[in-house]
Structures are given as structure tokens and as C-alpha cells.
Structure 1
Amino acid sequence: MIRPQSRAAELTSTRRLWTAWSALLVIGLSLIVGTAAAAQEETIKSHGYSFFGDLKYPEDYSHFDYVNPDAPKGGEISISTLGTFDSMNPYTRKGRGGALSTVMYESLLGEGVNAPAPADVYSEYYCLLCESLEYPPSKDWVIFYMRKDAKFSTGDPVTAHDIAFSHNLLLDQGLQSYAEAVRRLIPKVEVIDDYTIKFYFAEGVSRRSLIEQVGGVPAWSKKWYEETGARLDEGRLEISPGSGPYMVETVDVNRRIVYKRNPDYWGADLPFNVGRNNFDRIRIEYFGDENSAFEAFKAGEYTFRAEGNSKQWASAYDFPKVQQGQVVKEELPNGSPPTPNGIVFNLGREVLQDKRVRQAVALAFNFEWTNESLQYGLFKQRASFTQDTPLMATGVPEGDELALLESLGDVVPPELLTDEAVMPHTSSPERLLDRRNLRTAMRLLDEAGWEVGDAGMRRNAEGEPLQLRFLLNSSGSATLAAVIENFISNLQAMGIDAVLEKVDASQYTTRERDRDYDLVFDEYAAFLGTGTGLKQRFGSEDAAYSLFNPAGLASPLVDTLIEASLRAETSEEEAAALRALDRALRYEFFMIPVWYNDVYWVAYYDQYEHPDIPPYALGYLDFWWYNADKAAELRAAGALR
């Protein structure tokens, strides 16, 4: 592999030879031509990209293996969401963007509708707005050769000027954490001609995620933004045109959004899209709370429901339409690692910077009782950020993982080399307050300097009470609210002044962005591979403001392991680094892991069909399809409104 430093040395050497032998013009020209030819041979040109160069689908693929290439087009799928929205610009820094409001936009390397594409492989990317891409083995730069028939819904062509504009717009008006990270990594973009664009990558940084980063930038219309004067960071209901298969049909603020298929969609027949984008319309209904949303589903106001509430899944799907077969209740396999969600500590709060306090607070959560009493025993307890995958740290480190940790020096705590990976505590399912865990928590709080004072309240040496405020979205799940209320009750039993603050969706969004909480139920992203996105989620540099790092985690240990994963030159080295990263994240203890489900729970009116579900996406908006005959039967029976 040619590295950037050796490439620079080679070019410097060539210039010196030209100076020394300028009289031998023929020989000098031959040398330059030969060097250029060698450089040309060294580049890689492909219809897709993966870091290690392996692609499942060849250049002449006809469709992805998991789709039905003969799936009919037509019909509508309708889903629900909770809360409110006041913008159709999902990138605004104020307010709430409408659901699926990125669906109109495509990128050079394609994605699916609310799903990865392809969904049967991980970390492989295939051309959509581009025909091909070219890059050297060093990955110092990448050139995208764009399709000349790609068009926005206005009929205007999508050009390299639009891609460069979109890239720069995100840097100038996008999220701060994103913009600062990208500026460090991608110093220059060059429009070579109307349909060719080149991105240059900074020297001395990992090449991981850079090509897919620039290949995934949404394509926005430069013409539209310049004519309207709109800003990316401001809320608006006016929609910038996209080039994707769907476009906005109607928007009824806080009630409904409807997307319709673009009848003139330029990419309908591409192999990338065969068997996909099958619905004529995608309708989203808004509801103020979960109960009203579920009742509306029973009444046929919307037709597909991805269920997340264990109580409803276990006990509420016995209504007549299910019994009569008009509504299908189905469990489908989920091959992705579960989302690492749970109770997140705001590490910016001084009281929570002591790990002993966090460990004591965690002991107030009783998974076993919660699962049996509130969730019908349907969940498993999550321990890892890469749960049930080969990247999950188990036992004590050994082999390549141990060798890596030992090579990193003092940044690795000695106990990380000898102790087993951190696992969540166990509790008795018989009672909410596990007395064994309570005694352990009380001892930890005493050791941390929070002793029991007047009225049984925990106070520090200055007499200040141990106060914790838990922020919760009032429009969320009633079951989740019950879980948190019981958790708060256990905290109060420890002598902690714990208060649950329920706020509406708009306030919740604002306060979450401002990190105005001590505790919050939130999530991080699972990972099956490395990438610069790990720095946004877990890295120190953006920890103070990254919206993807709700704990504000800033750990030199984690930073070092992320860098080690980015430097990995083989898949085995990468796996060892990510396994060590999982171990380190659990060691830092910035989140109380809760539960997970290894299947999808879905219910839908019996007018939809689907192929075998691929490992990494349920894909109901992407590759499911509509059966018009079944839909007609449901309407004739009065099952649908």
C-alpha cells in the first residue's frame, strides 16, 4: 500500500531528476509519462466501495438478493409517530423536523428509505447518483463520476456543483460537531467538470469512513437555495427539491405528512432500485400519546405498526381484526446488534463524575422485576454496545485484544487487563427494591462522601443534598414512564432527592440538545465496524456539544481505542480493537443498560407482503409491497377507513 508520505517523496524525487537532467529532454519526458502511467494503474475504479475492497455485488448485478424484483408498484403504507413537528427541514437547529423529511434526498452512494441499502451486507456502499468512483490504494482522495441522467424533482440535473454546494452547506450551517470533524478530515473539494467531483483527505488521518462520508452527503439543489435564500439551520415548511423516489404531497402540521412517488423519478430502473420503493404513497399520522395512536391503528386510520411496547404486544393484540386475520401480528428476525439505549448519566454534572455515585444509582434499576412485572418477561438484559456479535467483549481480554491493550501503555487501567468485562448487576424479580443491591449502593454513596443526614437524605460535607433530575418525554411510552417512576422510587429509598421531570416533546428536544438534565433515557449507536463516526458518538474532542454523545463522555482510553480501530489494516485487527472498545465503554460506566429484543414486533393490515428479512433492516418502507386484491377485500369488509 502506498502511503501519502511515500507518494510525496516519489514526486519530489521526480522533480529533482528533471532539474538535474533537463538537457535530456526525451528521457525526462519518458520518465514523466512512465510515472503517470504507473499512477493510473495504481488507482481503483469501482461501482461500489468497502474499506477492504470486498464487494458482494459485482458491477453487472441486476438487483439485491433479498428483494423481490417482480414486486408490484402501488398502494399506500401508513404509519404513526408521536409528538409534534414544526419544520420540514430536519437539519434545523431549532424546533422539530417532520418524520421522514430526509426521504426526498439521495447521495452519491445510495441508501434505502429509512434503511441501509443493501441490507444484507455491512459496510458496503454502491453507486446511486454516481456511475463509479476512483481512488488510489492510499485513499488520499476520491473521484466520483456522476450519472448524467440524475434529476431533481424540478427536472433540473443533479451535478457536481450541487454535491460540492451540499458538502459546504453542511460545514457552514450544519451541526457543529459534524462540521468541525469533517473540516479536519476533508480539507478540499474540487469540481472537475459538471459531472465529476473530487474530494481530498487530510494527511496523517485515518482513511476509515472518509469515502463513504463524502459519498453519503445529501444532494441539495444549489439553484433552489440560492434563489430562495433559505438556510439549512432554520426551520421552514417549504421543501427543497430532492432527486429521490419520493416527494412531499401534503403537510398538515402536527397531524399528517404524506409523501408520494415521483412519477418521473429518474432512477426507477437502476439495479440499485429494482424491487424497492414499491409504494405509491407513504402516509405518517401524528398522535399526542401512545394510547391514542394504538386505538387509531385498531380503527384502521393507519395500517402498519412496529411495536415497541411489551405490554401492548403481550396483551393488546387480541382485538377482533387480529382474531379474524385482517391484521397480521408477526415476529421477524433482527440481525442487527440492538440499539444501546438506557439511562444515561450527564457526566457534565459534578455529582455524577464520581463513578461510585453512578454505580450506586445504577443499582436502583431492577431489570428482572421490571421485565417480569411491567414487560411480560419478553426482553433480555443488554450488557454490551455490540450485544450478541463477535465484537462483544466477554470474560478477561485475551489474544489479539489483550495484546492491543497491553501495547497502549498507561492509558489502560491495570484492572482492564485482568478483570472480566463489566456486566450489569442482577436483581431479585420478587420485589422492586432488592435489599442486597440497596446495601451495596448505600456503601458506595458513603464512600463517595454522600452520607445520610437529616430526614434520611444524602448530603455531602457541605450539607448539600444529593439531587438528581430525570428528564422524560411526556408523549412517550406509558410503560417506559412506569419503569422510570419505579427507578425514581428506588433512588428516593437510597436517600437521593430524585425527581422525574416530564415535559412535552418540544421542551424535551430543546432541553436534550442543551443537556439540561442529570439523567435521561437515551441511546447511542451500535457498531459492527469502525469509522470516524465513533469520534462523534464517544470521542472527547466533540464531547462538550455532540448531540450523538448525550453523556458527554470524554475518555482518553476510549479515544485511544477508537484511533487503534481506525489504524487497523486487517479485519482481524479491527475486530480486536472494537472488542476492546466495547470493554472500555462498559468500564467507563456512563449508561445503565436496560433491555433489548432480538426480533422485530410488527402488526399490519393484511395487504402487505415481504421477502425474507435481510440481516440489517426490517425495510417495510423500502422493499415490502402492496397487494391490491387483499386491500380490496379489507375495504369491502369495512376493516379500513
Structure 2
Amino acid sequence: MTHPLRSFLHASSLLLLGLASLTQAAPKHALTLYGEPPRYPADFQHFDYVNPDAPKGGNFRQAGFGGFDSLNPFINKGVSADDIGLIYDTLTRHGLDEPFTEYGLLAEKIEKAPDNAWVRFYLRPEARFHDGLPVTAEDVKFTFETLMTQGSPTYRGYYADVDKVEVESPLKVRFIFKHAGNRELPLILGQLPVLPKHWWAERDFSKSNLEIPLGSGPYKVAEVKAGRSIRYQRVADWWGKDLPVNRGFYNFDSMRIDYYRDNTVALEALKAGQFDYWLETSAKNWATAYDTPAVANGQLIKEEIENHNPTGMQGFIFNIRRPVFQDPRVREALGLLFDFEWANKQLFNGAYTRTHSYFDNSELASSGLPGPDELKILEPLRDKITPQVFTEEFRVPVTDASGIIRKQQRRAYQLLQEAGWRIDGDQMLDAEGNPVSFEFLLAQTEFERVLLPFKRNMADLGMELVIRRVDVSQYINRLRSRDFDLIVGGFGQSNSPGNEQREYWHSSSADNPGSRNFIGLKDPAIDQLVDGLINADSRQSLIAHTRALDRVLLWGHYVIPNWHIKTWRVAYWNRLQHPKITPQYDIGLNTWWVNPQPSAEATEPASTEQ
């Protein structure tokens, strides 16, 4: 409170503190992480990255991978259909051109305690489920409690600091936290999808099936062909269609996803006009597989859209629950045997950059030696973490791209010997004298070409790498049961990391089937760093905590870092259009539309109805 106001009120400091708290806790149209003003004011009409006059209509087709056997994405059973979240509304909508701001969706206003000890949502009276019944505070409470008791273990980790939910009126609900000070929790609770209590009252939430569920969102499930395709239909009288947060979104009358078991086949289907849009993840394909007349004449458009998100960490992930991977020297040795430079030159057409951080492509990434802010965080942990964190800059191995890595192999062998391993004849034996063999679990055929040189480099040191390819359903089940040695996986990051870090690295998630703690981390030092990150009280503190965590993870050699690219590579038929402004942190696919008056060259994709 300013000095002139204190003079004017002649009030005690205690009263002033109370007035300040009341001011901070006033209901708002949006929440930001550190209380900074949101980009869009309360009276905004639409986001900058949409076309508010985008025409509605047309059909949009995509490709899915593998298959699906469930329409319940909230439980740890089955494989849920892609985009099923489109049938649900959430309490808030994430701003796609801000690091972390939530705008009211189902909730007209949001109010939080000045010390972040609770958050209150005021629901819109016009909000309706697809059967016409209102969305109420009871539905919010039911959703939260059901997800915490019957949903995927991910929710129990994500919302672990929520003590209870209070229904204060039919349209007012409050979440009370176990501890004050968690700045992120009010915002991530806003991302809660709200389920209809009355619809689930006579159904078993824990069962995976293909019954079409009731939602309140912009689309309904219109057609299901188990494992083959799913079609969503836009809800013409959707209660939220005129809200500023929704203007310019959800323009397709229908959205269909056809499933392919091989991405090579899917790409050929795209070029044949079987579907509309493809996010290309293969550098080789992007460089060589689009030499077609449709691309040459502008019917099939290739576009690179700049990606400002932290790239996160994709890598070969060690399951350190396996005894063979519990020695960090072993993990470091195996990392030396991956020749990225050769792969980038020979397989990726030089398109990729090696990943050096769990938060690469952002100010959150560590570099050099720890600065003063990081040292304040790391010094109390000095006896619990690798000494190199304080004395050396972490660097990934670099080769000359020739495919000959004798220097790296010599260093790897030295590390394995230090770990008690030895070569007997032409076979590597571990510290217990067992022949060394690893299984790499894989669901995508196209990744085998990346692993084969890695397999050869391991074989040169007497180790066997078995590449085990399974279907998507079996792959997911084995991940959930932690039945793997090595996988290729990723830990996606945002510009405001927070509670999701518990799901990645915290001891509390290590034994939860379905969590993303694939590594199996149970490290008190990492737990402390994660807790400090979540409770950071400023952007500067968040950056320091994130960099400190990044260093400790890197020096643990828990993954073999892969690569990244700073753009999204998309291919789409020219019957589609998108806004001139792309949101800074997303492709913004739900803002695209079908051109109602396509040019003569525009192509309508061929039918895939069977």
C-alpha cells in the first residue's frame, strides 16, 4: 500500500494488510503465475492468434498411430482415442501466447488467497452439458474426487497438495490446499476437465470401454470404429461458442481420425489425399519424401512454424529399477556409444541439434558453471549430489561423424571397468559376472534405423542390444508396469515448469503405474530441488531452481540425450487455412478452418469411408 493512501486512511498497518489481502483476492477473469497483469484485459473480445471471423464448416481429417480401445482418457487402463478431450470443457483456458496464464472458461471468475492457500471458481450460469443440464460446483467436486480415487495415478501426484474441495453454492467451489505458497496449483486446477456427476452415477468410472461419454465441450463423439477411426461432430448450440476465449476456435463441422499402424503408410496416405494434415517428425522424410506433384503445384503445403517452447528432453531412457543400470558409470558409458553426429549427417540430413538440457531452447536451461543464485540452492546438497555439478560444465559426447568412435569406446570401457565389468572372450560381463544384454522396447518401426548403429557400437564392446518392437497397446501396458530396460521417450516442458516435475522426477511418483517417472528416480536431493522449484516465489527464483535441477539430472546420466528442432514441420492440403498470427507456444490447430471457396487447385481429400 502506498504512503499517500496510508496517510489518507489513518489506518493501522494491520488494517492495511487486511485491505491489501482483500484487494489481491478479488475475483478475476484470469490468473497469472506471479500476479503480473495478463496479456488480455477483462473486456477482451478474442485472442490475437485467432481469426474471429473464421468460417464454420467442412471436415478435417487426421491420422492416428496404432489404435485405441477406450473413450475414457482419465484412467490407467486401455488406450484412449486421440482428441477425446474435445468433448470436455475445463474450468479455464490456457493462453497460447503467454508463458502461463489461465482465462476463465467454465469459470467466469477466479479468486485465490493472497498466500495461495486456496482458489475459488465462480461457474458461469449458462454452462451446460450436452444433455442440457447445468454444470455445477457438485460436478467439479465429483470430478476432482473421482480422478483422485479412481483416475490415473498421475492425478494423485499432480494434485497432491489439495486438502479438500468445498461446494459453497451451486455455482461456487473452493479448493483448499495443504500448504500455502504453491503459486502454480491454482492455475493447474483451472485445467481440470469437468465431468457430469449425474451421468457417471450409474457407471463404473474405473472400467475402460467404448461407450460414448457425455461432455460439455465444443464437440461430441459421433462415430466410433474400434481401433480404426473416430469422428467428432461440432456441437452447433454449444453453450460456450460466443465466449471471447472461444471465438475463432473449433471451426470444423466434423473431425475424423483414421488410425495407421505404420507412419510410412500414413505419409503415403497423406500424399494420396486420404487426410488433411500431418506433423512431420522425421527429418529424412521432410527432406526427401515430399517430392510429389501436389507439393510442386501448391496443393500440398509444407510449412515450418517457429516453436518458442522449451524443447524438453527426448532421449534413450534408462530404467534404473533394473540393477544393471543403477551405477551412473554404466549409464555414462552407454551414452558414449551413441554417435549423434553420424546419425545427424547420414540419417537426418543435418536437420537436428543435439539436446544439451532438460529445458533446452529456453532461459531455463543450465550452462557453464552454477551462478550465485544456483549455488545458494545447490550448496546445502553438496554431500548428496555428484561433485562435478560444482566443478565441470556438463557436455554431451561429440564425434567427427565418421562412424568411427574408438576414443569414445575406450572411455566407455574404462568406465565399465571402474564399475566392475570385464570382457571374457568376446563377451562383456557385469559386476556379478552375468553376460550383458539389454532390451530396447519400441513401438515405431522408423526408429530402428537410429538404434542399429547404437547396437553395433555396443556389440564392439561385447554387449547385446535386443530391439523389441511391440504394438501400441502392449507398449503402453509395459510402460505402466515398468517392464522395460530402455525406451525412447520424452519429458515435455513449458516456460513455467511446476507441479508436473513431481510426475517426472519425484520419489512420490516412482512407484505409481502410469506416472512419467520412467527412470525410477528416488533421490532425496532431486526431491528437494523439485519441491523448491514448485514453491519458487518469483520468476528469477524459478529460473535458478530449474537450472539447478537441470544440472543434477544431467550429471546423473539418466538418459542418453537425443536431438531437437526449433520448428514444427507441418504438411497440409491447401483446402485448410490458418490465422496469420500463430500463437507463440503452440501450433494452434484448433484455430484452423476449411476454405469455403477453395481455389481451382485446392484438393478435397479422397474418401476413407469403408
2:326 to 333, 337, 353: 353
Q: What residue is the counterpart of 1:199 in the other structure?
A: 175
Alignment of 1:157-168 (within 5 A): 157-168=134-145
**1:313-372 residue CA offsets vs partner (Å, 9 max, x unmatched):** 111101111112111111111111114111000010111000111111111211011111
Asked if 1:470 corresponds to 2:440, the answer is yes
Local SS of the residue matching 1:87 = coil
Q: What residue is the counterpart of 1:524 in the other structure?
A: 491
Q: 1:83 to 1:603 in 2, by over 3 A?
A: same
**1:32-64 residue CA offsets vs partner (Å, 9 max, x unmatched):** x99998864552321111121121111111111
1:99 to 82, 105, 111: 82
Which whole-Å CA distance do the structure 2 matches of 1:37 and 1:397 have between them? Answer: 41
How far is the alpha carbon of 1:486 from its aligned partner?
A: 2.0
Q: What residue is the counterpart of 2:101 in the other structure?
A: 124
1:214 to 183, 189, 210: 189
Which whole-Å CA distance do the structure 2 matches of 1:627 and 1:265 have between them? Answer: 22
Which whole-Å CA distance do the structure 1 matches of 2:587 and 2:157 have between them? Answer: 33
Structure 2 letter corresponding to 1:267 = G
Structure 2 letter corresponding to 1:53 = G
Which whole-Å CA distance do the structure 1 matches of 2:593 and 2:431 have between them? Answer: 64
Which whole-Å CA distance do the structure 2 matches of 1:316 and 1:523 have between them? Answer: 25
Q: 1:39 to 1:296 in 2, by over 3 A?
A: closer
How many aligned residue pairs are there?
Answer: 592
Alignment of 1:21-60 (within 5 A): 40-41=22-23, 43-54=25-36, 55-60=38-43
Q: 1:416 to 1:339 in 2, by over 3 A?
A: closer
Q: What residue is the counterpart of 1:447 in the other structure?
A: 418
- Whether the 8 Å CA contact 1:525–1:537 is kept in 2: the answer is no
Local SS of the residue matching 1:272 = coil
**1:125-171 residue CA offsets vs partner (Å, 9 max, x unmatched):** 01000110112211211111110000111111111111100001101
Asked if 1:498 corresponds to 2:468, the answer is no
Q: What residue is the counterpart of 1:613 in the other structure?
A: 582
**1:360-414 residue CA offsets vs partner (Å, 9 max, x unmatched):** 1111211011111111111111111111211111111123223332355533444
Local SS of the residue matching 1:187 = strand
Give % identity.
37
Q: 1:274 to 1:42 in 2, by over 3 A?
A: closer
Q: What residue is the counterpart of 2:45 in the other structure?
A: 62
Q: What residue is the counterpart of 1:230 in the other structure?
A: 204
Q: 1:317 to 1:568 in 2, by over 3 A?
A: same
Asked if 1:74 corresponds to 2:57, the answer is yes
- Whether the 8 Å CA contact 1:326–1:639 is kept in 2: the answer is no
Local SS of the residue matching 1:49 = strand
Q: Larger deviation: 78-87 or 536-545? A: 536-545
Asked if 1:426 corresponds to 2:395, the answer is no
Structure having the higher Rg: 1
Which whole-Å CA distance do the structure 2 matches of 1:81 and 1:404 have between them? Answer: 44
Which whole-Å CA distance do the structure 1 matches of 2:397 and 2:45 have between them? Answer: 50
2:307 to 334, 350, 357: 334
Asked if 1:321 corresponds to 2:294, the answer is yes
Structure 2 letter corresponding to 1:297 = L
Asked if 1:295 corresponds to 2:268, the answer is yes
- Whether the 8 Å CA contact 2:429–2:435 is kept in 1: the answer is yes
Superposition CA RMSD, Å: 2.1
How far is the alpha carbon of 1:640 from its aligned partner?
A: 4.1
Q: 1:296 to 1:565 in 2, by over 3 A?
A: same
TM-score by length of 2: 0.93
Local SS of the residue matching 2:398 = coil
Local SS of the residue matching 1:536 = helix
Q: What residue is the counterpart of 1:510 in the other structure?
A: 477
How far is the alpha carbon of 1:243 from its aligned partner?
A: 0.9
Q: 1:82 to 1:513 in 2, by over 3 A?
A: same
Q: What residue is the counterpart of 2:233 in the other structure?
A: 260
1:435 to 391, 397, 406: 406
Which whole-Å CA distance do the structure 2 matches of 1:600 and 1:41 have between them? Answer: 42
1:589 to 530, 554, 557: 557
- Note the residue ranges of structure 1 that are not aligned, 5 or more in a row: 2-32, 111-116
Q: 1:129 to 1:463 in 2, by over 3 A?
A: same
Which whole-Å CA distance do the structure 2 matches of 1:35 and 1:345 have between them? Answer: 51
Local SS of the residue matching 2:509 = coil
Q: 1:631 to 1:517 in 2, by over 3 A?
A: farther
How far is the alpha carbon of 1:416 from its aligned partner?
A: 1.4
How far is the alpha carbon of 1:191 from its aligned partner?
A: 0.7
TM-score by length of 1: 0.89
Structure 2 letter corresponding to 1:499 = V
Which whole-Å CA distance do the structure 2 matches of 1:38 and 1:404 have between them? Answer: 31
How far is the alpha carbon of 1:497 from its aligned partner?
A: 2.4
